[in-house]
Structure 1
Amino acid sequence: MQAYEFINNLIPPLKLSDQAKMALGWMQEIRTNFLPVVDKGKFLGFLSEETIFDLNNPDAKVEEISLDMPACWVYSDQHIYDVLRVSSEQDSNIVAVLDREMAYMGVVTMEDAIAAIADSLSIQSQGSVLVLSMNMTDYSLAEIARLAETENTKILSSFISSDPLDENKIKLTLKLDKPELRYIKATLERFGYKILDHYQEETQISSEEDRIGNLLRFLDI
């Protein structure tokens, strides 16, 4: 799950000598709003479609145009989670990947990153999603898994996020292998766990769009 594994080779880097009209043509062809700019193997930042339109000079060279997001990058051996973190921090749907010598390797798109996370979290598997609220001090995945197994249910993956309404609490999102939630909900509530929400999936997820949608719901984005 390292960043370099998800580099999108269909997105080319721009050179400083390239013209704005060529960059715009590439963006329209591959349907992206940003392209990376690289000089002598070094990542300089991203050129945006909006910047090109504002410039209104199709013959301008990239070296004459202000670039965006020079800090929007990760090392090639960083986890795919770091790609999502940098994407969020920089408000970008594309992140550059550099090796440890700071040489440019390529970019990862958010579509590719989200699809990778969806695979790792078993989002595409049939089952259900359960969202619990609890104090951080009460959190024990081992105990929750034990209770789930008493109802012949297994936890496929889990995700923790802070509770925006109470800084002392967390939201624990669980992907379970069974679509039926009635009994596991009753068991968890009997042991004092508060259930915030649940999603039951009756059919196998069949498309990339559905898989990404379920991941966003799972992560509560």
Structure 2
Amino acid sequence: MQAYDFINNLIPPLKVTDNAKKALAWMEEIRINVLPVVDDGEFKGLVTDDLIYTVNNPNLEIGKMETESLACFVYQDKHIYDVLRVASEHHSNMVAVLDRDLRYLGVITMEDAIAAFTDSLSIQAQGAVVVLSMFMTDYSMYEISRVIESENAKILSSFITVDPLDDSKIKVTLKLDKVELRHIKATLERFGYRIIDHYQEENEPDREQDRIGNLLRFLDI
């Protein structure tokens, strides 16, 4: 799940000597609104169509514009989680990938990153989702797993978020390998776990699933 594995080779970098007209033409061709700028292997930031329209000079060289998000990059050996984090911090739909010598290697789009993130969380696997609320001091994945496995179920993946209403509490979102939650919920509650939400899927193996929709539901966005 390293960043290098998800570089999108269909997105070319702009040179500092390219002009605004060429940048817009490339954006229209590949249907994207942002492109990386590279000068002799050095990442110089991102240029957006909004910036180009604001400058309003089709012949102006990219190198003479104030590019954005110079720090919007990850090293090639970073996890896909870091790609999503950097994209969120810079409010960008694209993140550059550099080697440890700061040489430009390519970019990852958020569409590609979300698809990879979804796969890592077993979103496409058949099963239900349960969300627990607890104090951070009470959190133990070992204990939670032990309770769930006592019902012959497995945790496929988990995700932890801080409760926005109480920073001493967390929400633990679990993707399980079982569709039926009735007995699992009862056992969790018997052991003192508070269930604040759950998503129980239909047991239809051939049903199409919306990858991005399931991801957002899993992350409780």
Shift of 1:220: 2.2
Deviations 1:22-67 (A, max 9, x none): 1011111212111000001000000110011111111111112110
So what's the TM-score if we normalise by structure 1?
0.96
CA offset at residue 206 of structure 1? 3.1
Does residue 191 of the first structure (1) align with residue 177 of the second (2)? Answer: no
Matches within 5 A, 1:42-57: 42-57=42-57
Q: Secondary structure at the match of 2:153?
A: coil
Which residue of structure 2 lines up, in the alignment, with residue 217 of structure 1?
Answer: 217
SS at match of 2:53: helix
State the 1:142 CA deviation.
1.3
Residue ranges of structure 2 left out of the alignment (5+ in a row): none
Correspondence 1:79-94 to 2 at 5 A: 79-94=79-94
Aligned Cα RMSD in Å?
1.1
TM-score after normalising by structure 2: 0.96
Q: List 4+ stretches of structure 1 deviating above 2 A.
A: 203-207
Q: Does the alignment pair 1:104 with 2:104?
A: yes
Answer yes or no: is 1:119 the counterpart of 2:111. Answer: no
Superimposed CA distance per residue, residues 110-139 of structure 1 (whole angstroms, 9 cap, x where no aligned partner): 111111111111111000110000011111
SS at match of 2:15: coil
User: Is residue 160 from structure 1 mapped to residue 188 from structure 2 by the alignment?
Assistant: no
Q: What SS does structure 2 have at the residue aligned with 1:175? A: strand
* Structure 2 partner of 1:206: 208
Q: How do 1:14-29 and structure 2 match up within 5 A? A: 14-29=14-29
Aligned mates of 1:137, 1:63 — CA distance in 2: 52
Q: What SS does structure 1 have at the residue aligned with 2:167?
A: strand
State the distance in 2 between where 1:10 and 1:212 align.
22
Task: Count matched residues.
Answer: 219
In structure 2, the partner of 1:59 is 59
Q: Which position in structure 1 is the counterpart of 2:40? A: 40
Partner AA of 1:162 in structure 2 = V
**What CA distance in whole angstroms lies between the structure 1 residues aligned with 2:105 and 2:199?**
39
Gaps of 5+ in 1: none
Aligned to 2:31: 31
